[in-house]
Structure 1
Amino acid sequence: MKKRYVMLCTLATVLCLGAHAQNTEPASSDLTRYVNPFIGTGAIDASSLSGSNFPGATLPFGFVQLSPDTEDGPDNPASGYDYNDKTIVGFSHTHLSGTGVSDLFDVMLMPTTGKIQSVPGKAETPGSGYRSRFSHDQESAEVGYYQVKLLDYDINAELTATEHAGYHRYRFPKTDQAHIVIDLNHTLNKKRPYWSCKVIDAEIRQIDPYTVEGYRVLTGWAQLRKVYFYATFSEPIISSELFNGGSMYANEKIVNGTNVRAVLNFNTGNGKPVLVRVGLSEVSPSGAKANLEAEVGQKSFDQIRQEAKAKWQEQLSNITIEGTKEQKEIFYTGLYHAYTQPNNLADVNGDYMATDYTIKNAPDKTHYSTFSLWDTYRAAHPLYTLLKPKKDAAFIRSMIRQYETFGYLPIWQLWGEENYCMIGNHAIPVIVDAIFKGIQGIDVEKAYEAVKQSSVTSHPGSPFNLWDQYHYMPENKQSQSVSITLEMAYDDWCVAMLAKKLGKDEDYQYFLNRSGYYKNLFNKNTGFFQARDDKGNWLPDFNPLAYGGNGGNPFTEGNGWQYLWYVPQDVQGLIALEGGKAGFSAKLDTFFTLKDLPKEVNGNASGFIGQYAHGNEPSHHVTYLYDYVGQPWKTQYYVAKVLRELYNNSFSGYSGNEDCGQMSSWYIFSAMGFYPVNPASGKYEIGSPILSSATIRLDNGRVFKMTAKNVSEQNVYIQSVKLNGKSYNKPYILHSDIENGATLEFVMGAKPNKKWGQDLTGLD
C-alpha cells in the first residue's frame, strides 16, 4: 500500500509538471472569482478589529459604492456594514472602504411592504420602522454585484453599479403595498464626539411618476459636502408621503428641510421587479442626470452587472499568481480593496467641485479624492506605480489641483476637501516616488513647487515655524510631537531628493538638514525617541509601552516601541544611534518578543507579535529591517508569520482597519517576496514569498516574473535567489529591475540559510 501511494504521488508530480510543495489552485482566466467582498467586513469578537470594508457594488476607483448599511448612524465599523449584525436599514450609494472614521452614506434607499413608519427603527428591534432582518445564507456578493433577501418583507434586493450610478433590482411579493423609502437624513453617527455631523439642507422632488431628483448639503468628517441625485423607476409611483422630520405631506411633489425622507408607493401585483437607476453628482442635479444617462441609459440590470465584472477583470488581469485558493482569494480581494479608492469625483463631462467650492473642469475627465495618505503612501501608492502607473499619475494631478486652490497638498482628502486627519505631509513621498520612477503625465516643475510649498507652509499637524525654530516638535507646543517629528523628517528627505534631482542645490541642503532632525528626540540613556518641551527637557515618566491616540500624547496611534523604527530615510543612522548592528538587531529581537502591554492600548492596536502591531501602519515596515543588519532570515520568519497568521479569507480577514488598500498592499507585496521600507527609495527589501509564482505584465510591455520553488507553510526561509538567471545575494531588488522586465527566482527551505543576503551594498 505504501509503495502504491509513492508511485501515485510520483505520477501526480509528473502530471503536474513539477508542482510546488504547497497545493496550488488550478489556474483560472476569470480572476474576479477570487474576489470575496465579505473579507474584512467584521471582527471575530469584541477584542479584535474589523477591516471596515463593505460588501456592496462598486467599480474600480468609482464614485459610487452601493452597499447595505446595518446601522442607523454608522460609526464602527466605518463602512456602515458589520457582518455580525442581523438587520439592514437600507442601501446607500457612497461608502468608505477600510477607514477608521465614518462618513458619506448618501442617498439611502430601502424597499419595504405593508404598513411603514417614517423612521428607520431601532437596530435591536428587527422589523421596526423600515429595518429588516437578513441572513448570510440568503446573501451574496461578487465584483460589481450584491444580493440579499430582506426577510421581514420577502423582498430580494440586488445591487450593481457604474462609476457614477447605482442600479437596484427589487423583487417584491405581489402586493399593492410596496414601498421604496428614500432617506436623506441617513448619515454617520450625529452624536460622534470628534466633530459635528449635520444635514444643513435637503430636498426631494418628484418630476413625474417615474422620476425623482434631489440633493443634500451636510457637514461631517468632510466639512461641507453637496450630493445630488437623479433617480428613475421602472414602475410608476402610485402615491407618496414626503416627510421633513415629523411633518408628513401626502402626494406632494416636493419637500425641503433638514430631515427629509420620502415613501414612494408601488403596486407590484404584476409580479415585475422594480428597477431603480440612481445617478450621483457632487456638482448639480443636471450632472447627476447626465452621469446616469451616459453610463446606464436603457441598459438592463444584467448588462450593467456584466460590464462591472468585465471592468474588474480588466483591472485585475495584469498580474496573475499561483498559490493556494485561500492565497488567491486574499491576494485578489486585496487588489480589489486597493482599487476601490481613490474615487473619481468628476462628472462624465469633467466638472468637479474644487477645494474653494468653485466648479472646475478636469481635462482628463477625472478628479480623484479619498486620499488616506498616512496609510497609503507606505505601500498602496508604490503598488499603483508598479501596477497602475497611469492611475497614479492621475491621482497626483488631482493632488496638485488641491495645492493650486488650497495652498498645499492633501493630508487626508475626502470628497475633494481637506479634513487634516492624521499627521505628516505624505502626498510628498507619493509624488517624489512617482517622479523618480519616471511615471509620465506629471508636470514635474509644478509638482516640485507643490512639494516644496507644502513643506514650508504651516497648517494643522505641521507647524513648520516650530520645526524651524526648535529643530524638533516640542510636546508642550505641539501634541503628537515625537510622531510628527519623525514623519516630517522623512517627508523632508523626500523633498531633498527631488530638489537634488532637479539641480536645486540650496533647497537640497536645506531639506536634507531638516531630514536629520529626528536625531534631536533620541534619548541615548533610554535608547528611544522621546518627547521634549520647548526648553529641551525630556518629558518625565517616559514609558515606551504607553500608547497615544490622535492627540494628548507624543505618539500617534502607537507607542515608543513602534515609533522607534520610523526612520526609513536613514536606517543606517538609526542603527548607529542604537550602538551598531548588534545593538540594533538585539533591540529588534526584543521588539518582536516583548509581550507586555499597558492597561490601555490605542483602539487601532491589534495583530500583535510582541510589540509589533500589524493592525496599524507604524509597524508595517519593521519586519524588513533585519535585512539591514545581515540577518535576513529573521525578516523571512516574521514576514511569513504575518502573512500566514494575520490574514485570512473570512469576514475577519484583516487584523485591523484595511485603510483604503494599505493593509492589502502589504500582503500583495509581501506575498511576492518584497516590500518598500522607504516608499520613495526605488528599493524593495526582500522577505519571504508565500506564492508559487507571480507574473506582472507591465505598462511598458515588459514582464516581471517571480517564482518560489518548494514554497510551503514550513519552507519559509530563502535558500538561494537568482535575478535574471544569475545568483543574487542582495536582500533587496530595485524598481528598475522590475520595470526592465526580469525573473526573480527563489528557492525556499525549512531552515535558514544564513549565508544568503549578506551583500548589503546599497543598504549600508
Structure 2
Amino acid sequence: MKINKIILVATLLTSMILGAQTSDKITLHVNPFIGTGAAHGSPLSGNNYPGATVPFGMVQLSPDTRSTPDWSVASGYNYNDTTIAGFSHTHLSGTGVAELFDVLLMPFSGSIVKEEAGQNAYQSKFSHEKESAKPGYYSVELLDYQIKAELTATTHAGFHKYSFPKNKEAHIIIDLDHSMKKSDWNTRIIASQLSFPNDHTIEGYRVITGWAPMRKVYFHAEFSQPIIRNHITDGGNVYDNAKVVNGNAIRAILDFDISKQQEVLVKVGISATSIENARLNVQTEIPAWDFNGTVNTADAVWEKELSKIKIEGKAEQKQIFYTALYHTFIQPNTLSDVSGDYPAADFTVRNSSKPYYSTFSLWDTYRGAHPLYTILQPERSADFVNSMLAYYKVFGYLPIWQLWGQENYCMIGNHAIPVIVDAVLKKIPGIDAEEAFEAIKNSAMREHPGSPFGIWEKYGYIPENLKSQSVSLTLEMAYDDWCVAELAKKLIKIDDYNHFTKRSQFYKNLYDKEISFFRAKDDKGNWIGPFDPLKYGANGGYPFTEGNGWQYFWYVPQDVKGLINLVGGDNAFTKKLDTFFTLEDKPEEVNDNASGFIGQYAHGNEPSHHIAYLYNYAGQPWKTQQYVSEILKKMYNTTSSGYSGNDDCGELSAWYIFSAMGFYPVNPSSSTYVIGSPTLKEASIELKNGKTFKVIAKNVSDKNIYIQSAKLNGKSCTKTFIRQADIDAGGTLEFIMGPKPNKKWGTKLVDRPVN
C-alpha cells in the first residue's frame, strides 16, 4: 500500500512536470490561422497562409483555396473559402500581390473524370472543424474524398502524408500550370517538363514569368508507393503512361494501389537552379520516410527561434505576440540550395558558402522587421545584407522588391539602403562596410524605376509632371539619402556626407507653408492643384503612394525636429497630430491598402506606422502612450481577421512585437528606439552575446497604459527613447504603469528622441 502511494505521488509529480513543460512550449502559442481571412464587413485581414514552413525556408507548403489565386488571396488561402484546390510548395506571406504557388499536389479518391475538365474538377470541400495547423505542420480532411492530408516541411523540401479511404481508387494530381491568374502581370508558363525516372519518382521544372520575371523552379518528388499509371494533359494533348512530357500547361494524374497500405507519403525537393539540386535538397533534409520525425524537427527549430523572446502576459497576448514573431521569421526566404548554388540576377548559377536570400519586400520591412532581425537574427541579418550586395554586383543597383532572385520594381525608393546602413552602423559582424557604401552610394546615384536620380539632382524634388507619386518619392528618397550620409560620416567620407546630407533636406522643397502640407510641384516650380489632403493615391498617377497628404505629412523620420520647425514648433506640431488622429472624414474612394483607421491614421499600411510615436519628439509622450495602446488593442486579435491590413512579409507583425514590448524604431537606421506604451508584463530578449535585455511593465493592464516612471538598470530614466547600445549591453528597462498620464515624465527637451 505504501509502495502504491509512492508510485501514485511519483506519477502525479511526473504529470505535473510534463504538464508544466508543455504549457511553457512557445510553439503552442502560435496560431497560423491568424490573418488568413477577413471577417464579414472587415477590411484586409493579413493575407497570411496556415501551411507548413520552417524559419526563413525556401518551401512554404500550404493549401490553396482557389484554383487561380489573385490579389484578394495573395497567399493562396482564404479562411472564408470552403474548398481546397491543392497544396503548393511556395507562397508569399501577407503581400498585396499573388505569386509563386509552385508544384501543386492534390490527392483524390474514386473515379477519374475526363482529363479535359482539368484540375478544378478535383477540388474538395473542407471544414475548419477538421483542419489544424501549428508551426511546421498542417492537416485537413478533404471531405469530398475522405482523405486526411498532412503537410510538413524542411528548408528546401515539403513532406506530404495522404491517408486514403478503404476500397476506393487513390490518385494524386501534380500540376505545373497552377499559378495566379494568367491575365495578371502577364503571367504565363514559358516551358515545363515532367519526367518519370522510375515508378517511385517524378522530376521536372517550370519556367514561369509574372510579377517576378522568368522564374525557374525545379523539383524532385519521391513517393512511398509505386505509381502504377499516369495520365498527363498539356492543354488539349493527352498522354498515358508517358516517361517524359514537355509543354506549357502540364497536369498529371498518378494512380496508386493502396490495397495493402492506405497511406501515400510524398517527399518533394524544390530548387531554383536544377533538378539535381532539388534531388540533393530532399535527400539531404528528408533522408527517411519518417513524417512524424520531420514534424518534430520543424517544431524544434521553431521553438528555438521563437524562444529568442520570452514574455509574460495574458494568453491572448501570447498568441498574438508569438504568431507575429512566427510571421516575421517566415521571410526573407532561402534561395540557395544545400550545395550553395543560387540563381544570380543575370540568370547564371553561382555558389556561396553562406545562405543566399530573396523575398525582400523592402518598402515594408525596412521600417520594423529588419531592425528586429538585427536584434534577434544578427547572423541572418549579415546574410540578408550580403545577399543584397551580391545582387548589386551583378544587377548594378540594390534590390527594391526582389523575389525569387529577380527584381519586380514594386513600390518606390530604394529601401535596401536603410537596411544595409542600419546593419553596418549596429556593427553586425560579417559585412564589409566599404563594399556596402559603394553599393548604397551608387544605387542612390543611378537612374532606375525606384529612384529617378537625374531629376532628383536637377530640381531638388520630384516634379509630378515628370514622375508620378512625386511627393511620396521626394520624402522617401530624402530619407534614403540621409542613410547614405550617415554611413559616409561613419567612414569619414566628408564630400559624400555633405552631398547626401544636402539631398536629405530636399523634402522641404515640397512643403507649402500656406497650407502646412507637402504637395506636388511641376518642373517649373508651380504648385499643382487642386490639393486635397484626404484624397488617396495608389501606385501611380497621383502624388501620393498608397496613402494621402495627411498620412505622408509625417514621413520625415530623419529630421523630425526639422519637421516640427516647419510647422511652427511643438504646439503647432502636436495640434496637427491631434487633428490627424481625430479627423474622421474620408473621401468616397480610398486605396485598397487603407484600413485600420484611427482618424486619418491607417494602421493597415506602412506609411502610418511611426506616427503615433511622434508626440515624444514634441514633449507630449503621454499621447504616444495613449495611441500606441489603442492601436495594439484595436488592430490585432486572435481571429482569422487578426490584422488590420496586409502583413507585408511580417511588417505589421514586427510593429506589434516592438510596440508590445514598449518601443519602436521610428528612424530605422538611427539605432534609436522610441518608447511607447508596453502592454506585456515582461519581455526578455536573448541576445547573441549571451546577455539578456528585459523590459518590465509593473501594474500594466487594459486601464494602466500610461508610464508613471521608468528605470534603466536600476537608475531613474526620463528619456523617451533607448539606444541599440542599451539593448546590446543587456540589463533591465522597468516601467511603472498607471491609469492617468504623468505629464511630467519624459517632457523635457533632453528627454526627447534625437534623429
Pair 1:99 & 2:99 matched: no
Q: CA deviation at 1:758?
A: 1.7
User: How is 1:164-203 mapped onto 2 (pairs within 5 angstroms)?
Assistant: 164-175=156-167, 177-192=169-184, 195-203=185-193
1:284 maps to amino acid: S
Name the TM-score, length of structure 1 as normaliser: 0.95
Deviations 1:117-153 (A, max 9, x none): 467979xxxx960100000000000010000000000
Equivalent pair of 2:625/2:676 in contact (CA under 8 Å): yes
Equivalent of residue 257 in structure 2, options 261, 264, 267: 267
Equivalent pair of 1:118/1:243 in contact (CA under 8 Å): no
Q: CA deviation at 1:757?
A: 0.8
Deviations 1:72-112 (A, max 9, x none): 11111200000000000000000000101110000000000
SS in 2 for 1:32: helix
Equivalent pair of 2:165/2:262 in contact (CA under 8 Å): no
User: How is 1:89-128 mapped onto 2 (pairs within 5 angstroms)?
Assistant: 89-117=85-113
**Structure 2: distance between partners of 1:73 and 1:637:** 43
Equivalent pair of 2:224/2:289 in contact (CA under 8 Å): no
**Match for residue 133 of structure 1?**
125
Q: CA deviation at 1:27?
A: 9.7
Change (3 A) 1:466 1:51: same
SS in 2 for 1:334: helix
Q: CA deviation at 1:269?
A: 1.8
**Structure 2: distance between partners of 1:736 and 1:312:** 28
Equivalent of residue 476 in structure 2, options 487, 508, 523: 487
Q: CA deviation at 1:164?
A: 0.4
Equivalent of residue 654 in structure 2, options 651, 662, 665: 665
Equivalent of residue 569 in structure 1, options 551, 558, 562: 558
1:49 maps to amino acid: L
**Structure 2: distance between partners of 1:655 and 1:184:** 34
2:88 maps to amino acid: S
Name the TM-score, length of structure 2 as normaliser: 0.96
Pair 1:549 & 2:544 matched: no
**Match for residue 624 of structure 2?**
635
Deviations 1:462-504 (A, max 9, x none): 1100000000000000010000000000000000010011010
**Match for residue 52 of structure 1?**
47
1:234 maps to amino acid: S
**Structure 2: distance between partners of 1:118 and 1:526:** 66
SS in 2 for 1:455: helix
Deviations 1:408-443 (A, max 9, x none): 111000001111100011011111111111110101
Deviations 1:575-617 (A, max 9, x none): 0111111110000000000000001000000000000000000
Equivalent pair of 1:27/1:322 in contact (CA under 8 Å): no
Change (3 A) 1:717 1:526: same
1:547 maps to amino acid: Y
SS in 2 for 1:386: helix
SS in 1 for 2:360: coil
Equivalent pair of 2:400/2:450 in contact (CA under 8 Å): no
**Structure 2: distance between partners of 1:116 and 1:98:** 36
SS in 2 for 1:449: helix
Pair 1:362 & 2:352 matched: yes
Q: CA deviation at 1:729?
A: 0.6
**Structure 2: distance between partners of 1:121 and 1:399:** 44
**Match for residue 17 of structure 1?**
none
1:214 maps to amino acid: G
Q: CA deviation at 1:114?
A: 1.5
What is the RMSD of the two structures over their aligned residues, measured on CA atoms?
Answer: 1.4
**Structure 1: distance between partners of 2:40 and 2:336:** 39
**Match for residue 279 of structure 1?**
269
Pair 1:519 & 2:518 matched: no
SS in 1 for 2:216: strand
Equivalent pair of 2:36/2:46 in contact (CA under 8 Å): yes
Equivalent of residue 241 in structure 2, options 229, 232, 251: 251
**Match for residue 6 of structure 2?**
none
**Match for residue 510 of structure 1?**
499
**Structure 2: distance between partners of 1:392 and 1:640:** 29
User: How is 1:155-170 mapped onto 2 (pairs within 5 angstroms)?
Assistant: 155-170=147-162
Q: CA deviation at 1:253?
A: 1.4
**Structure 1: distance between partners of 2:114 and 2:747:** 69
User: How is 1:709-724 mapped onto 2 (pairs within 5 angstroms)?
Assistant: 709-724=698-713
**Match for residue 69 of structure 2?**
74
Equivalent of residue 79 in structure 2, options 68, 74, 83: 83
More displaced 10-residue stretch of structure 1: 752-761 or 413-422: 752-761
**Structure 2: distance between partners of 1:522 and 1:742:** 43
SS in 1 for 2:35: coil
1:619 maps to amino acid: S
1:102 maps to amino acid: A
User: How is 1:71-470 mapped onto 2 (pairs within 5 angstroms)?
Assistant: 71-75=66-70, 76-117=72-113, 129-175=121-167, 177-192=169-184, 195-364=185-354, 366-470=355-459
**Match for residue 8 of structure 1?**
none
1:251 maps to amino acid: N
**Match for residue 62 of structure 1?**
57
Q: Which runs of 5+ in 2 are unaligned?
A: 1-19
SS in 1 for 2:514: coil
**Structure 2: distance between partners of 1:64 and 1:538:** 49
**Match for residue 10 of structure 2?**
none
2:566 maps to amino acid: L
Q: CA deviation at 1:45?
A: 2.5
1:447 maps to amino acid: A
Equivalent pair of 1:242/1:254 in contact (CA under 8 Å): no
Q: CA deviation at 1:299?
A: 4.2
Change (3 A) 1:175 1:373: same
**Structure 2: distance between partners of 1:331 and 1:265:** 44
**Structure 1: distance between partners of 2:486 and 2:252:** 56
Equivalent pair of 1:119/1:129 in contact (CA under 8 Å): no
Deviations 1:674-727 (A, max 9, x none): 001000111111000000000011001111011000100011011110111111
2:25 maps to amino acid: D
**Structure 2: distance between partners of 1:763 and 1:216:** 51
Equivalent of residue 718 in structure 2, options 721, 729, 732: 729
**Structure 1: distance between partners of 2:338 and 2:120:** 40
Change (3 A) 1:267 1:134: same
**Structure 1: distance between partners of 2:407 and 2:458:** 26
SS in 1 for 2:545: coil
Q: CA deviation at 1:759?
A: 3.4
**Structure 2: distance between partners of 1:60 and 1:301:** 19
Q: How many residues align?
A: 733
Q: CA deviation at 1:323?
A: 0.4
1:226 maps to amino acid: K
